[in-house]
């Protein structure tokens, strides 16, 4: 059974700190996605990682993919309150483009 | 950019009635669209994959006669919740895979359904 596991599921941190969210998955896949969801809203695409070793950065967020370890990380640098949200990773099943979702990480950044 | 709209954004209906939710890709063609359901504080649950011009593929446990999906054009998919019950209350989100971009899915803003 394909599983996508995120940890932690909940993270409360102070502004200015660094932290990493981990996403492990159980099947071979070269495509991994990170999304952000604000309360009551839909999903916003953050990163699409398409190959082993892919690294993408946008502002204070950086995502990486290790397909051999079946692991992706989302690193937050010098967190600010505006980054408070729930972050989801998802893995693409090659055959039909369906996304298998992690449980989400609720991130609260305190001023 | 690639924009997906959903209508309505919120709907309240009475038990036993049917509700139709529209999902449109505004500036791209989408052969494939997906319908998700999300309960509070939970992840997304894929309900079905909708392909233009063919029958939708439903996930295990999703009643196809209750959740009718029609993908009649390359820019429009509809989800009809038939004979709605309070347990159908949820946040429904659609996404569309652009034909021009194999790897990206674009999400609609979601529809919050409340069945009284």
pLDDT digits (tens, 9 = 90+) for B12-44: 999 999 999 999 999 999 989 999 999 998 999
The radius of gyration computed from the CA coordinates of chain A, to the nearest angstrom, equals: 13
* pLDDT beyond 80 at A59: yes
> Which distant-in-sequence residues (6+ apart) come within 8 Å of B39 by Cβ?
B45, B90, B91
CA distance A8 to A20: 9
CA distance B33 to B26: 13
Name which of B9, B16, B8, B26 is nearest B96 in CA terms.
Answer: B26
Task: State residue B87 phi and psi, 5-degree precision.
Answer: -70, -10
CB-based contact B103 A96, cutoff 8 Å = no
Instruction: Search chain A and give the residue with CA nearest B9.
Output: A41
Looking at residues A45-50, what average pLDDT do you find?
A: 93
Between A33, A48, A97, which is nearest B32 by CB? Answer: A97
Tokens of residue A83, six digits: 């980054």
Q: What angle do CA B19, B13, B70 make, to 5 degrees?
A: 5
* pLDDT beyond 70 at A94: no
Contact (Cβ atoms closer than 8 angstroms) between residue A110 and residue A14: yes
CA distance A82 to A15: 10
Contacts of A9 in chain B (CB under 8 A): none
- Give the residue from A1, A42, A94, A107 with the most B CB atoms within 10 Å of its CB, the best one to mutate: A42
Instruction: Search chain B and give the residue with CA nearest A89.
Output: B43
Instruction: Search chain B and give the residue with CA nearest A91.
Output: B103
- Residue B64: per-residue pLDDT: 93
* pLDDT beyond 70 at A95: no
Instruction: Search chain A and give the residue with CA nearest B99.
Output: A97
With an 8 Å Cβ cutoff, is B103 touching chain A? yes
Residues A48, B94, B71, B48, CA torsion sign = positive
**Measured CA distances, A39 to A36, A77, B40 (Å):** 10, 22, 10
Contacts of B33 in chain A (CB under 8 A): none
Contacts of A43 in chain B (CB under 8 A): 44, 93, 95, 107
Closest-CA distance, A42 to chain B, in angstroms, reads: 5
Percent of chain B with pLDDT over 70: 99
CB half-sphere exposure, A56, CA atoms < 13 A:
15
Compute the count of residue pairs across chains A and B with CB atoms less than 8 Å apart. Answer: 47
Confidence bin at A52 (pLDDT 50/70/90): confident
Confidence bin at B96 (pLDDT 50/70/90): very high
Looking at residues A62-91, what average pLDDT do you find?
A: 96
* pLDDT beyond 80 at A93: no
Biggest alpha carbon–alpha carbon distance for chain B: 41
CB-based contact A99 B105, cutoff 8 Å = yes
CB-based contact A99 B49, cutoff 8 Å = no
A8-17, A102-111, B24-33, B98-107: least confident range: B98-107
Task: State residue A83 phi and psi, 5-degree precision.
Answer: -85, -5
């Amino acid at each position: 059974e394909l599983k996508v596991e995120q940890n932690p599921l909940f993270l409360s941190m102070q502004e200015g700190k660094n932290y990493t969210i981990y996403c492990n998955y159980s099947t071979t896949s070269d495509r991994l996605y990170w999304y952000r969801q604000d309360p009551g809203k839909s999903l916003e695409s953050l990163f699409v990682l398409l190959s082993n070793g892919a690294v993408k950065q946008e502002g204070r967020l950086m995502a990486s993919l290790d397909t051999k370890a079946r692991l992706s990380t989302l690193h937050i640098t010098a967190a600010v309150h505006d980054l408070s949200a729930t972050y989801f990773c998802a893995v693409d099943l090659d055959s039909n483009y369906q996304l298998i979702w992690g449980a989400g990480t609720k991130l609260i950044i305190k001023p | 950019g690639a924009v997906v709209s959903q209508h309505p954004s919120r709907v309240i209906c009475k038990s036993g009635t049917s509700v139709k939710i529209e999902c449109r890709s505004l500036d791209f063609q989408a052969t494939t669209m997906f319908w998700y359901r999300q309960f509070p504080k939970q992840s997304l649950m894929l309900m079905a994959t909708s392909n233009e011009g063919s029958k939708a593929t439903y996930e295990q446990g999703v009643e196809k006669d209750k959740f009718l999906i029609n993908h009649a054009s390359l820019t429009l998919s509809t989800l009809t919740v038939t004979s709605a019950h309070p347990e159908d209350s949820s946040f429904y989100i659609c996404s569309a895979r652009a034909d021009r971009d194999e790897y990206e899915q674009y999400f609609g803003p979601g529809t919050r359904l409340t069945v009284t």
